[in-house]
């Protein structure tokens, strides 16, 4: 968490647009990975109440980051999609984050870079186990 927080702080320094809150970014990233996701499914994925996600959606729609489309199969439900400006913003953020991390990783010793590389499979397994457990807890 400390590394992630430091990265976010460094990247925010050069922003010319208003900052998005963490929950807003999480929702945008989820919609990016699952275009057309509904609000209930997004709430389940993010482990938030549906009304909290609805509030986030309304804010992001007003801010020009999300499109809310009516689900053709159920006119009461909404499907979420990113706007072009949100896609660009997320892409720019990811590019800048990769450049920042890459620059600092390249300054590490070869032994440290090898240690990071060797740790990646275990970290991926840990993340998968945490996601799996969160999914089980959300369905209980």
pLDDT band at 140 (very low <50, low <70, confident <90, very high): very low
Check residue 72 and give its pLDDT: 85
CA atoms of 95 and 140, how far apart (whole Å): 38
pLDDT band at 75 (very low <50, low <70, confident <90, very high): confident
pTM for this predicted structure:
0.77
What is the per-residue pLDDT across 82-138, written as a single tens digit (0 to 9) for each? Answer: 999 999 999 998 999 999 999 999 999 999 999 999 999 999 999 899 878 876 544
The 3-class SS string of the chain reads: CHHHHHHHHHHHCCCCCCCCCHHHHHHHHHHHHCCCCEHHHHHHHHCCCHHHHHHHHHHHHHCCCEEEEEECCEEEEEEEEECHHHHHHHHHHHHHHHHHHHHHHHCCCHHHHHHHHHHHHHHHHHHHHHHHHHHHHHHC
């Amino acid at each position: 968490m400390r590394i992630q927080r430091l990265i976010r702080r460094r990247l925010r320094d050069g922003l010319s647009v208003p900052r998005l809150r963490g929950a807003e970014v999480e929702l945008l990233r989820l919609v990016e990975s699952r275009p057309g996701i509904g609000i209930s499914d997004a709430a389940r994925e993010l482990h938030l109440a549906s009304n909290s996600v609805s509030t986030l959606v309304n804010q992001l729609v007003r801010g020009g980051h999300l499109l809310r489309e009516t689900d053709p199969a159920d006119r009461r439900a909404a499907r979420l999609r990113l706007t072009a400006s949100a896609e660009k913003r997320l892409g720019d953020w990811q590019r800048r984050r990769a450049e920042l991390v890459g620059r600092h990783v390249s300054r590490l010793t070869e032994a440290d870079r090898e240690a990071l590389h060797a740790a990646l499979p275990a970290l991926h397994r840990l993340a998968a186990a945490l996601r799996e457990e969160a999914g089980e807890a959300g369905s209980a």
